[in-house]
């Protein structure tokens, strides 16, 4: 009974099962020898066996306890170790771009009806656009953006943190005012001056974000709005559907046609006005008057003025400028000498600007000299006019009479 009891206990461990086998073998040898009638051998073997049993009895309880303890405590001990060595899992903050995407292209990315490059294009994602990931795949990803849902090539879009980085790089931060009469400060301080007041739902472009202030573009100036009275959002582009794109193309073509029609109308109006002005321009017959007796210095000064004012005009325009000076000299209202007339305050702009001085230093062109001498000889093609200016700056309604010569109008 003792042997059987210990064998049952040892059978609980695979390692001790080997010892049980040894014990079974020992019992078989006892039976064999008993059958042979050798009592001494039997007594010796039994004693030997009892000794073995006692030895096993001394070893087995301890080993059995170890096995039992191991079986009972192995899993709990590992769990306890994990609890001691691994820190408690903390809930990680969810990125604002979790489940989002951004396109990573220079121009645009096609959105297709199916995950196949031969399927219909249902929309486009232009550079700077993004949206929501519906099904992410190795080659094709199903997305939603704007009014479009479809498939895009996975290789050309960014996800999660990469998408967030791209959005911050290409997106626009928008500030929306939450209350009425919010002060737009000149500096990020409640003590700073005020550019103006913003009303609820006013929207501005944000250029910088701090804990307390949002830097905005306010009518071309840098302004600041308190974060207590405004919210800031990152705005990115959205997909454009095929229908929306066609509608946009149609609108652009209409706008282009309208602009071209307006430009043509204005051109026709301008031509009609030019014709009207030209028809109102009076033809002035050239007259011959007495010659002027002036010094060579006066001749040179007059030729230089003609060159400065009408150097690129036709000869008739040069002659007319020279005669305006002489008509003023004859009238006496601007002075009694050539120099006094030409340098009269607020009259000939080239005299004040330095242009006349430059021509005098370099010398007038030959046609300006000829025109000045012809005018001094008495040839006058604008006998009744004492003023002139470029046609581009003319206000014809203010002139009693005028004549257009080249690009200048002569009037009184």
Summarize pLDDT for 285-294 with one digit per residue, the tens: 889 999 999 9
pLDDT at 66 over 50: no
Q: Within 10 A of 383 (CB to CB), how many other CB atoms are there?
A: 14
Q: Is residue 340 part of a domain?
A: yes
pLDDT at 15 over 70: no
Domain count, the chain: 3
The mean pLDDT of 219-238, rounded to a whole number, is 94
Strands 287-288 and 379-380: antiparallel
Token code pair at residue 27: 């019992």
Task: Enumerate residues 6+ apart whose C-beta is below 8 A from 153.
Answer: 109, 117, 139, 140, 141
Give the whole-angstrom CA distance, residue 30 versus residue 42: 7
The mean pLDDT of 42-66, rounded to a whole number, is 38
Give the whole-angstrom CA distance, residue 167 versus residue 108: 16
Token code pair at residue 324: 């305006």
> Domain boundary at 39, 57, 85, which?
85
Q: Is residue 98 part of a domain?
A: no
Backbone angles phi, psi at 13, to 5 degrees: -125, 135
CA angle, residues 231, 96, 146, in degrees to nearest 5: 85
Q: Is residue 264 part of a domain?
A: no
Q: Using one digit for the tens of pLDDT, what is the confidence trace for 333-392?
A: 999 999 999 999 999 999 999 999 999 999 999 999 999 999 999 999 999 899 999 988
CA dist 53 → 15, 40, 352 (Å): 17, 19, 134
Token code pair at residue 118: 């031969």
Q: Is residue 135 part of a domain?
A: no
> Domain boundary at 209, 235, 261, which?
235
Percentage of the chain beyond pLDDT 70 is 76
Residues 302 and 369 in one domain: yes
Residues 299 and 396 in one domain: yes
**Structural contact between residues 115 and 149, judged by C-beta atoms closer than 8 angstroms:** no
pLDDT at 88 over 90: no
The mean pLDDT of 27-48, rounded to a whole number, is 36
Which residue range forms the structural domain that includes residue 223? 172-235
Q: Which pLDDT score, from 0 to 100, does residue 92 have?
A: 52
Q: Residue 191: which CATH number?
A: 2.30.30.40
Give the whole-angstrom CA distance, residue 387 versus residue 411: 6
Q: Which pLDDT score, from 0 to 100, does residue 250 have?
A: 95
Q: Is residue 97 part of a domain?
A: no
Q: Is residue 262 part of a domain?
A: no
Q: Residue 326: which CATH number?
A: 1.10.10.2520
Residues 300 and 404 in one domain: yes
Percentage of the chain beyond pLDDT 90 is 67
Q: Within 10 A of 52 (CB to CB), how many other CB atoms are there?
A: 15
Q: Which pLDDT score, from 0 to 100, does residue 382 have?
A: 93
Q: Is residue 105 part of a domain?
A: no
Q: Is residue 263 part of a domain?
A: no
């Amino acid at each position: 009974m003792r042997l059987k009891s210990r064998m049952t206990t040892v059978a609980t461990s695979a390692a001790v099962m080997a010892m049980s086998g040894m014990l079974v073998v020992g019992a078989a040898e006892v039976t064999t020898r008993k059958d042979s009638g050798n009592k001494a051998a039997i007594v010796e073997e039994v004693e030997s066996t009892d000794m073995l049993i006692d030895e096993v009895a001394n070893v087995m309880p301890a080993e059995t306890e170890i096995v039992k303890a191991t079986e009972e405590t192995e899993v709990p001990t590992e769990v306890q170790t994990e609890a001691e060595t691994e820190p408690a899992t903390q809930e990680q903050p969810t990125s604002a771009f979790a489940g989002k995407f951004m396109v990573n292209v220079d121009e645009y990315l096609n959105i297709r009806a199916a995950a196949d490059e031969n399927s219909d294009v249902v929309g486009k994602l232009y550079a700077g656009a993004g949206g929501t990931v519906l099904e992410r795949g190795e080659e094709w990803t199903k997305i939603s953006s704007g009014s479009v849902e479809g498939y895009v090539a996975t290789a050309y879009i960014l996800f999660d943190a990469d998408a967030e980085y791209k959005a911050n790089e290409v997106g626009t931060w928008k500030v929306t005012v939450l209350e009425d009469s919010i002060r737009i400060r000149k500096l990020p301080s409640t003590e700073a001056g005020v550019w103006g007041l913003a009303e609820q739902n006013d929207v501005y472009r944000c250029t910088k974000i701090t804990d307390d202030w949002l830097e905005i573009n306010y009518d071309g100036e840098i302004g600041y709005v308190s974060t207590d009275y405004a919210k800031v959002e990152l705005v990115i582009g959205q997909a454009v559907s095929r229908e929306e794109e066609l509608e946009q193309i149609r609108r652009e073509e209409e706008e282009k046609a309208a602009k071209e029609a307006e430009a043509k109308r204005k051109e026709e109006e301008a031509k009609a006005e030019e014709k009207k002005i030209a028809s109102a321009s009076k033809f002035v017959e050239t007259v011959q008057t007495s010659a002027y007796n002036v010094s060579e210095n006066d001749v040179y000064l007059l030729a230089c003025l003609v060159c400065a004012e009408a150097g690129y005009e036709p000869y008739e325009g040069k002659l007319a400028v020279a005669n305006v000076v002489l008509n003023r000299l004859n009238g006496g209202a601007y002075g009694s000498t050539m120099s006094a007339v030409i340098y009269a305050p607020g009259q000939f702009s080239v005299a004040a600007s330095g242009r006349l001085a430059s021509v005098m230093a370099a010398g007038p062109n030959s046609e300006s000299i000829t025109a000045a001498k012809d005018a001094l000889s008495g040839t006058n093609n604008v006998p009744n006019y004492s003023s002139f200016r470029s046609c581009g700056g003319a206000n014809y309604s203010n002139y009693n009479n005028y004549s257009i010569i080249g690009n200048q109008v002569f009037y009184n």
